[in-house]
Homo-oligomer: A and B are copies of this chain.
Amino acid sequence: MAQLIRIGIAGLGTVGAAVLRILAEHSNQLELRAGQKLVVTGVSARNRTKDRGVDISALQWFDDPVALARSPDIDLFVELIGGENGPALAAVTAALQSGKSVVTANKALLAGHGMMLAALAEANNVCIGFEAAVAGGIPAIKVLREALAGNNITRVSGILNGTCNYILSRMENEGLSFADCLREAQKLGYAESDPTFDIGGFDTAHKLALLTTLAFGVGIDRDAIHIEGIESITLSDIRAAEELGFRIKLLGVAERTSRGIEQRVHPTMVAKSSTLAQVMGVLNAVSIDADNVGRITLSGPGAGGAATASSVVSDLTDLAAGTTQKPLGLPVASLATAVHMEMQRHEGGYYIRLNVQDRPGAVAAIATRMAERQISMESIVQRHSGPRLAASGPVPVVLITYATSENLVREALEQVERDGFLDEKPQIFRIERE
């Protein structure tokens, strides 16, 4: 019990400051759990004098995170700088090369360089903890990496981005437009001033890439992910979903199919009664389907300084206790190369909202185009939003299909567009039986 683990932290934003606070407050408990004292001895950040609510004056200061990572005065390196490349990548690489385990919350870094970094960690007989990189305070990484060892996982799906879920929840609850909700989210600090990374689905995709690797034992392949964001979702979609018993969520889904591994991020219609549909606001959730255990769902705070720091501290404690986990569950050399399934081959039900020019035969023509491709319809709803004044305005038509394949739906809709009935691009959401 006399031993000491010296920790260096690079990046002292809200998460970094919370890690410092938690390690100080829980010092005794963590020592009892880990069998060693966890002490932060060195830090690096952009601004040395900024008030972070924690006293760092007694800690060794490094202007350069790489120097901190290489320092012989630390045993474990925590990277909270962010960004796929630049100082984060340089510092993590340096730490691993000098034989130090790393804890990071950086999904972009791992989605981009995770294979190289995991191999480097294994070569140096150290580990990378990244619980904080996916779903904030929810222990999804630990559950996938450790708790389901005796399972073939068939599917992982989740609400992995709090910003998107917050926007969609508010649109539904308050009838606000996407633009208004985004502005609110920015005001409250839930969305960045450039929100593309979140609302475009890229953040979800980075997290999904890591979950996919842990779930299926395949290499990280961010580029194999089909990505759609939530920018095009309108209040009419939200309302139509509601009427049909669905809720719209931005899901990341990775699935093992007979045709390969499918990875996709897109707005999804989920039944209102499903577990994922209940996850509102900035919360996250991850559902895992596995052969022996069935379905397990984890939900909780997907972001926030303290929740994310809780995951960092959990990783630090495991490392101090001497975990022997491989960063990616299996040794990098044993990860399979995934057979990637193209989105065109996706099979499932579809929600299609068309703005149709209100002239005779339009709906019949659309139905015919679907039928030509053997696409069965569960429902077709054509509704005038107000009193019918003239025959000229466009009319929303909502189609729900039974299971069919993506390429057939795309083909049919291209044909409908060519037929000249549509007033704007079709809105297409996949339906997921969560």
Contact = CB atoms under 8 A, between A and B. Distances in A.
Centre residue among A23, A275, A310 by max chain B CB count within 10 A: A310
A310 B150 CA distance: 6
A179 interface: no
Interface in A282-297: 290-297
A227 interface: no
Interface residues of A, number: 60
Contacts of A137: 292-294, 296
B293 A301 contact: yes
A16 to B, nearest CB: 14
Contacts of A413: none
Interface stretch (A321-329, A343-351, A379-387, A414-422): A321-329
A147 B275 contact: no
Interface in A16-54: 18, 22-23, 26, 29-30, 32-35
Interface in A249-291: 273, 275, 278, 290-291
A26 B152 CA distance: 8
A297 B296 contact: no
Nearest to A318: B146
Interface in A182-224: 217
A96 interface: no
Contact of A148 (B23, B297, B306, B310): B310
A157 interface: no
Contact of A300 (B149, B295, B314, B324): B295
Contacts of A307: 292-294
Contact of A334 (B22, B32, B326): B32
Contacts of A294: 137, 300-301, 304, 306-307
Interface in A341-364: none
A22 B324 CA distance: 22
B149 A217 contact: no
Nearest to A19: B150
Contacts of A301: 293-296
A322 B321 CA distance: 10
A297 B300 contact: yes
A54 to B, nearest CB: 14
Contact of A278 (B275, B290, B295, B298): B275
A298 to B, nearest CB: 5
A248 interface: no
A23 B297 CA distance: 24
A143 interface: yes
Contact of A296 (B138, B147, B312, B334): B138
B321 A321 contact: no
Contact of A299 (B143, B150, B151, B297): B297
A142 B146 contact: yes
Nearest to A330: B32
Given A292-B18, A307-B294, A331-B32, A150 B300 contact: no
Contact of A149 (B146, B313, B331): B313
A79 interface: no
A306 to B, nearest CB: 4
Nearest to A30: B149
A290 B295 CA distance: 24
A309 interface: yes
Contact of A131 (B147, B314, B317): B147
A213 to B, nearest CB: 14
B149 A26 contact: yes
Contacts of A334: 32
A139 interface: yes
Given A142-B143, A151-B310, A297-B300, 10 more contacts: A26-B149, A26-B150, A30-B149, A33-B149, A137-B294, A146-B317, A148-B310, A148-B314, A293-B306, A321-B324
Pairs A-B, 8 closest by C-beta atoms: A150-B313, A139-B147, A296-B300, A137-B293, A149-B317, A292-B310, A293-B310, A292-B306
11 contacts: A22-B150, A30-B150, A33-B330, A139-B296, A143-B143, A291-B306, A292-B307, A294-B304, A294-B306, A295-B300, A297-B297
